[in-house]
Structure 1
Amino acid sequence: MRRRRRLGAAGHAICRDRTSRGGAWRRPPGRPSPPAAPAGRLANSAAAAAASRHPDSMRLRLAPLLVLAAALVAGSPPSAAQSVLRTVASPDLSRLPPGQAAWMRETRASFDRTRGELAGEPLAQAYAVLASAYTRMGLYDPALTALWNAEQLAPEDPRWIYAQGLVAHARGDGATAKTQFQRALAIAPDYLPLRAALAGLQIQAGDLDGARKLLADHVAKHTDQPLPYALLGDIALRQKRNAEAVTQYQQALKLDPPATRLYRSLAEAYQGAGNAAAAAEARAKAGDVPVRLNDPLAQGLFGGPGLEAVEPFALDMSSAVFFVSIGRYAAARESADAALGRKPGDAGAIAMRARIDAAEGRIDAARQRVATALAAQPDNALLLLTQGAIQEMAVDDVGAQSAFQKAIAADPSQSEARLRLGQLLMRTGRPADAIAQFRKLTELHPNDGEGWAQLLAAEAAAGRCADGLRDMNQVLAGRPDYGFVIQLSVRAASTCRGATAEQRRKALADAEKLYRLSSAGEVAEAYALALAANGKWKEAEETQAAALFGAVSSRDATRQALYREFYDRFKAKQLPELPWPSQHPLFKPERPTPAAAAP
């Protein structure tokens, strides 16, 4: 359940701050949406989210990052690549509404005025912004030419290759889109939107096994995003593996509970598995909210700023974020240094550069950079948060705790600082102190089921399981269909010695219902706990054995160890005292570590 958190994850906060700063987005008057490529049955599935990259069709948890932005300053001398650039034709704008045509002419004129002053990477960025403008007008040929030029100027930058694939897909050229996505993936294999886009095309083309492998390779390393599981569910559904489809859709919904569109596919999977009652229940929950996917490049391409609205600093920062997200730290350092060159005192740029240092193992350099900045900005919450995270990596828990507390004092809504402080307190054996931090997180983000799990774990570890059960039931009083919290309530009622017989019976009934919907490992474990709490030891042992078998089959050594702890307890007819195994990351969060060796 827990996500591995490392310093240097994408975003202005170290890994989970719910806010992100973006530049001003100037949309052309009456901007049309780019046409969606034919999707057939994918229209109501997760594959449609991967195939259609238009930002208005996505539910994004983070504000858009300015990736497609122009550099309005002179760059390095012209490179050899500039001699082979193609002329971007000025298309006929007569078919556009007058307001859109005027906006497009203004954007092209702005590009033509600045093109001669730019070279190399800044010129590539300018071509990308021009391509964004043409794409938003549905003028795909000049957009592709502009992006081809961007690639020639920065051939190792996967963004412009990926963008060519997005535009090719928007114009209905799936073959070219696939080729470009494959080329970009070879450079940036960990960029999920790119992998999902390629998988979506493979699903549409009927290459289900190829798409399945592409997504399975991703979830083998990254388990915190809902879209890969949703796409795996689509593949299983098409291959008539209905039970597996149910499991994949349930995992996607666990990670993204508001994605109500998934319930349509889930209902179909249940129907195929012969569970008409579960299918009807899922169908009743179906809505129009798609699976979330944060794809800043696609959002910039289809809804980014005009050339005149660009701030070079935002370009540098967003580029640094992007390169960190795909593990290209040298490129990230360049972008962060460029941002610092423009705004030497900007806390966000300083924090980003320090995080890159820390992610590469240069802990002392990261510490010094932040300490120097804090001397001038002692109450800056972002800098204090960054200082705390670096201290954690340096195994200085006292210093980290102090920095996190100062960050919270400077900004009480700083969720990242509260999360990290709570995890630090859990890791160092102080769950009672962690409760307040996790409780505040649930107030700040009530729809984040993970926050409720952290709160329950802290309360249980502190010997306050009755409080935890009451908290979960209060959530369910207002949201009785909140499936993830139902599972938490089942775990609390089944393990808390203060729970009543009626609460344990209700936990069993709720767990049976969840288990009928999904036999995923964690759901199975919650059901096993409820069975054991009601004296059904043999059934509890068998149910937990099924979860353990799933972990063995997937060669997941971590889950095997966790599931075996409860299996041994059930076999010995011993009811666990905690809602999760004692070594679960909720009780023992990992210490953040560098993502790469220092160069």
Structure 2
Amino acid sequence: MHVIRRAIQRLVPGLAVTLLLAGSLWAQDDNAITRFGVELEAIPFPDLEVFQEAVSDSLQSARVVFKTKQAGAQTPRELADAYGRLGMHYQAHEMQDPAGAAYRNAVALIQDDARWFYYLGLHDYESGQHDAAIEHYRRVMALEPTYPAVRMRLGLAFLDSNRPGEAETVFRQLLDKDPDHAAALTGLGRVAFRAEDYANSIDYFERALVAQPQASELHYRLGMAYRQTGDLERAREHLEQRGNIKPQYPDPLIHAMQGRSQSSQFYLQQGVAAGKEGNFEGAVNALSMAIAVNPKDDAAHVALGLALEQLGQHDAAGMKYEEALRINPENAEAAFNLALLLDQRDLTEPAIPFYEQAVTNNADYTEAWYLLGHANMRLGRYARAATDFTRVAQLQLDNVHVWHLQALAFLAAGQCEDALTALATALAINPNRGDVIQTQARTFATCPSATAEQQQIALADARALYDLRPDLEHAETLAMAEAALGNYQDAADYQAQAMFESFKLGGPDKFPGLQTNMERYRDQQPAEEAWPASHPVFAPDAFAYPTESDDPS
């Protein structure tokens, strides 16, 4: 289900929205001044009322400390340090305007501290000023040539400045020192992709994914590269796994800067990062801090619930999902996770309202529709299940498995004509799916509206399946097809073989319909249904999502 990957993808983007809203609410902190013979910029200061209390307190405290150090600075280095540390506080909360001004003052005062050039380069890059970022990163390399992260950031700035040759040189320098550097491999893959060298781009992206399997963004890049080569199957496989997690690389200066954040989003990001690394205890601690800072952060409650599930604390996880829904009843992720938690504990009926809440809040929530369909199938609500699978099929038009599920739901609901329509669609996508061929053969053999031509198709397909593997299911299917054409003796013979095979698997009583159909064939009557309502085919395992195969067996 990849639940954690989906939750991580939707939690972090909310941070940018809050900060964009705050971004224009600046007041001038002080006027431009001259100190130590250097003209310094005024630092804009945000309106703290738009921030969470912990954030506003942190920024107010940083401002007070800065003012004290600014007044007491006896040397350019002391004043530069005050400006630089103030910039770190602003940048930790993604406030680019005051952060940039503070860093520019710091590097104007002293030119030999790599930290302030590095943070200024990061500010430039995040502000879209890639050429300026390149110059500042180069300054860092001159001052601190052994700092590893700056070379990676320089390569990315080259790449985004449409200077792929220089980017490639930098990425190769990183690989010379570390052949498994996932971020550098990704950079080379991007260079190759731009050059339309798709084979090499795939190679680099695949190597990066081996180095960092959690870097889900690589699936998107691989999907696009495979699409360019015409390998649409592999493209689809990777695109279905795509996410927002980029390849990571050590960057102590960034961690030092981020540590100044006091927002719930910061702790949320820290918790999500810990979860990606499998450190679920650390995730719980960080996410608990996020909730302590902002108890109304429904996304943090959802993320904490996911981490608690990984630690086996399912009751506590359920309480977090419930709390998230109390805060925000439109949180589709919270509703889905609570439904899934209940469903996996065989509490199917209580789970259904939460699946329904999830799809009401997000009509394109494929997994929720899919599991809702299965839940309705298990409870015998077949018409509702057919509606659920219809929605999944609309969202995944080329998914044979879902069209087959829709057909089974229609069959169980007594709507064999609708089932045949769904089966025809499934076989148009993949004409070699053995399970779909068998369902169609049984439906042709039992549906009252089936034509003689369709009954002949059922017989031909059933014989092909039987010849491939003469097991219980295929023998029973061939018996149905023979009986549909009035060949009752042949039907009885194949049904007898099916019953013989059943003894190897527990006896005929374990397989609904075997004895009933044998009696019908002896009475010169065809089978009435593809499978009895009690057959497990109408309650497939929702959590065992099959892969498609070209093997009709």
Q: Given the two structures, how large is their TM-score scaled by the length of structure 2? A: 0.49
Structure with the higher fraction of residues in helix conformation:
2
| Rg (Cα) greater in structure | 2
Q: Given the two structures, how large is their TM-score scaled by the length of structure 1? A: 0.46
| Structure number with higher relative contact order (C-alpha < 8 Å, ≥ 6 residues apart) | 1
